Structure 1
Amino acid sequence: MSKGGGGLSRLATLPLLQRLASRGKPPLRLIGVARDHVTGSKARGEQLLAGRFVSGGEVVELQDLNWSQIDPATPVGAELHGFGWLRDLAAAATREKGAPLAEDLAGRWLLAHGAKVDAAWTPALWGERLLFWLAYAPYLLSRRDAEYRSALLNTAARASRHLAGTADEAAPGLPRITAWAGLTAACLLLSSGTARLAKAESGLSRALASAQYEDGGLMSRSPAEQAALVDRLGLLRAAYAAARHEFPQGFEDAGAAALAALHGVIMGDGSLGAWQGGNEGSRAALAALIEGCGFRARPLRNPRGWGYHRLSALGTILVIDAAPPPARKLTRSGSASTLALELSDGQQKLVVNCGGPGPHSAGLPEGLAAALRTTAAHSTLTLADTNSTAIQPDGSLGRGVEEVPVTRSEDNDASRIEASHDGYVRGFGLVHDRALSLGNDGKEIRGLDRLVSRGRKKIREDVPFALRFHLAPGVEAVPTADGLGALIRSPGAPPWNFRCRGAQLGLEESVIVDSAGTLRSTLQLVLVGEVSHLGAEIGWQFRRSS
Structure 2
Amino acid sequence: MIKTAITPAKGGLPSRRLISDVIYASGAYQALLKSRVPKRLVLAPVDILPGDGERADNIFQGHFEFGGFSLERDDQEPWHVEGMPLAWHKELHEFAWLRDFVANGSEAAKRHARALIASWVTEFGIFRPYVWDEDVLSRRLIAWFCHSPFLLEAEESDFNYEFLRSLRRQYIHLSRLAKSKTKDPDRVSTWQALLYGALAFPDMSKQCAKILASLETELGRVVLADGCHISRNPERHLTLLGELIGIRNTLMSANEMVPVAINNTIDRLAPAIRFFQHGDGSLALFNGGLRLPDGLCDNILALSDATGRPPQRFPQGGFERLKAGRALLILESGEGGRDAQIQRDAGLLSFEFSYGRERLIVNCGAVRDPDSAWGKALAATAAYSTLGFDNINAVFPPREPSGENPEHVTRNEDEGNIWLDLESNGYSDSVGVLHRRRLYLDASGQALRGEDQIIPERMPPSGRSHFSLRFHLHPDLSISRSASGKNILIRTPSGTGWKFLTAAPRLALEESVYCSMPGERRHNQQIVINGQLIDQEPILIKWALTRLSD
Name the TM-score class by shorter chain. 0.7 to 0.9
Question: What is the one-letter code of the residue matched to 2:510?
Answer: E
Question: What is the one-letter code of the residue matched to 1:518?
Answer: E
User: Aligned to 1:470, which of 466, 469, 472?
Assistant: 472
Say whether 1:320 aligns with 2:320.
no
Q: Contact 2:420 / 2:438 at 8 angstroms: preserved in 1?
A: yes
**What is the match of residue 91 of structure 2?**
79
Residue 160 (structure 1) shift: 3.0
**What is the match of residue 349 of structure 2?**
339
User: Which consecutive unaligned segments of at least 5 residues does structure 1 have?
Assistant: 1-19, 391-401
Percent identity reads: 26
Question: What is the one-letter code of the residue matched to 1:222?
Answer: N
**What is the match of residue 119 of structure 2?**
108
The 3 A distance-change label for structure 1 pair 171 and 272 is farther
**What is the match of residue 425 of structure 2?**
422
Residue 24 (structure 1) shift: 3.7
Which deviates further from its counterpart, 57-66 or 306-315?
Answer: 57-66
Question: What is the one-letter code of the residue matched to 2:395?
Answer: T
User: Aligned to 1:433, which of 431, 436, 447?
Assistant: 436
Alignment of 1:205-220 (within 5 A): 205-220=216-231
Q: Contact 1:172 / 1:210 at 8 angstroms: preserved in 2?
A: no
The 3 A distance-change label for structure 1 pair 49 and 507 is same
Secondary structure of the equivalent of 1:426? Answer: coil
Could you state the TM-score of these two structures normalised by the residue count of structure 2? 0.82
Q: Contact 2:499 / 2:546 at 8 angstroms: preserved in 1?
A: yes
The 3 A distance-change label for structure 1 pair 203 and 135 is same
User: Aligned to 1:225, which of 236, 249, 253?
Assistant: 236
Q: Contact 1:267 / 1:344 at 8 angstroms: preserved in 2?
A: yes
Question: What is the one-letter code of the residue matched to 2:362?
Answer: V
The 3 A distance-change label for structure 1 pair 527 and 97 is same
Secondary structure of the equivalent of 2:523? Answer: strand
Which deviates further from its counterpart, 199-208 or 293-302?
Answer: 293-302
Could you state the TM-score of these two structures normalised by the residue count of structure 1? 0.83
**What is the match of residue 157 of structure 2?**
146
Alignment of 1:442-457 (within 5 A): 442-454=445-457, 457=458
Q: Contact 2:368 / 2:518 at 8 angstroms: preserved in 1?
A: no
Which deviates further from its counterpart, 161-170 or 22-31?
Answer: 22-31
Q: Contact 2:37 / 2:168 at 8 angstroms: preserved in 1?
A: no
Residue 120 (structure 1) shift: 2.6
The 3 A distance-change label for structure 1 pair 386 and 88 is same
**What is the match of residue 361 of structure 2?**
351
Alignment of 1:92-107 (within 5 A): 93-94=104-105, 96-107=107-118
Residue 143 (structure 1) shift: 4.2
Residue 67 (structure 1) shift: 4.2
The 3 A distance-change label for structure 1 pair 237 and 528 is same
Secondary structure of the equivalent of 1:180? Answer: helix
Alignment of 1:29-428 (within 5 A): 29-55=40-66, 56-59=68-71, 61=73, 63=75, 65=77, 67=79, 74-91=86-103, 93-94=104-105, 96-116=107-127, 119-169=130-180, 171-173=182-184, 175-292=186-303, 296-323=307-334, 326-330=338-342, 334-359=344-369, 367-389=373-395, 405-428=408-431
Rounded to whole Å, the distance in 1 between the matches of 2:260 and 2:345 is 34
Q: Contact 1:309 / 1:321 at 8 angstroms: preserved in 2?
A: yes
Say whether 1:545 aligns with 2:538.
no
Question: For each residue in 1:446-494, what CA deviation from the matched residue of structure 2 results, as whole angstroms up to 9, or x when unmatched?
Answer: 211112354xx34599943321111110312332344442221121351
Residue 285 (structure 1) shift: 4.3
Rounded to whole Å, the distance in 2 between the matches of 1:467 and 1:26 is 61
Q: Contact 1:403 / 1:422 at 8 angstroms: preserved in 2?
A: no
Which deviates further from its counterpart, 252-261 or 74-83?
Answer: 252-261
Which deviates further from its counterpart, 335-344 or 369-378?
Answer: 369-378
Residue 338 (structure 1) shift: 0.2
Q: Contact 1:388 / 1:424 at 8 angstroms: preserved in 2?
A: yes
Q: Contact 1:174 / 1:229 at 8 angstroms: preserved in 2?
A: no
Rounded to whole Å, the distance in 2 between the matches of 1:53 and 1:427 is 44
Question: For each residue in 1:236-276, what CA deviation from the matched residue of structure 2 results, as whole angstroms up to 9, or x when unmatched?
Answer: 22321221212211012223323332332222222332222
Rounded to whole Å, the distance in 2 between the matches of 1:427 and 1:174 is 27
Rounded to whole Å, the distance in 2 between the matches of 1:387 and 1:508 is 19
Q: Contact 1:24 / 1:157 at 8 angstroms: preserved in 2?
A: yes
Rounded to whole Å, the distance in 1 between the matches of 2:460 and 2:47 is 58
Q: Contact 2:69 / 2:88 at 8 angstroms: preserved in 1?
A: no
Secondary structure of the equivalent of 1:423? Answer: coil
The 3 A distance-change label for structure 1 pair 407 and 129 is same
Rounded to whole Å, the distance in 1 between the matches of 2:334 and 2:547 is 29
Rounded to whole Å, the distance in 1 between the matches of 2:117 and 2:74 is 12
User: Aligned to 2:525, which of 513, 520, 523?
Assistant: 523
User: Aligned to 2:498, which of 496, 499, 520?
Assistant: 496
Rounded to whole Å, the distance in 2 between the matches of 1:506 and 1:115 is 57
Question: What is the one-letter code of the residue matched to 2:528?
Answer: V
The 3 A distance-change label for structure 1 pair 470 and 68 is closer
Question: What is the one-letter code of the residue matched to 2:114?
Answer: E
Rounded to whole Å, the distance in 1 between the matches of 2:148 and 2:82 is 23
Residue 117 (structure 1) shift: 7.0
The 3 A distance-change label for structure 1 pair 488 and 297 is same
Rounded to whole Å, the distance in 2 between the matches of 1:446 and 1:194 is 59
Secondary structure of the equivalent of 2:272? Answer: helix
Which deviates further from its counterpart, 250-259 or 464-473?
Answer: 250-259
Secondary structure of the equivalent of 1:121? Answer: coil
**What is the match of residue 397 of structure 1?**
none
Secondary structure of the equivalent of 1:138? Answer: helix
Rounded to whole Å, the distance in 1 between the matches of 2:265 and 2:76 is 42
User: Which consecutive unaligned segments of at least 5 residues does structure 2 have?
Assistant: 1-30, 397-404
Which deviates further from its counterpart, 420-429 or 353-362?
Answer: 353-362
**What is the match of residue 13 of structure 2?**
none
Question: For each residue in 1:359-408, what CA deviation from the matched residue of structure 2 results, as whole angstroms up to 9, or x when unmatched?
Answer: 2776xxxx444332222221111234532239xxxxxxxxxxx9772222
Q: Contact 1:30 / 1:189 at 8 angstroms: preserved in 2?
A: yes
- The RMSD of aligned alpha carbons is 3.2
Q: Contact 1:473 / 1:521 at 8 angstroms: preserved in 2?
A: yes
Q: Contact 1:187 / 1:193 at 8 angstroms: preserved in 2?
A: yes
Rounded to whole Å, the distance in 2 between the matches of 1:458 and 1:32 is 66
Rounded to whole Å, the distance in 2 between the matches of 1:211 and 1:73 is 28
Question: What is the one-letter code of the residue matched to 2:384?
Answer: H
Q: Contact 2:46 / 2:247 at 8 angstroms: preserved in 1?
A: no
Q: Contact 1:181 / 1:204 at 8 angstroms: preserved in 2?
A: yes
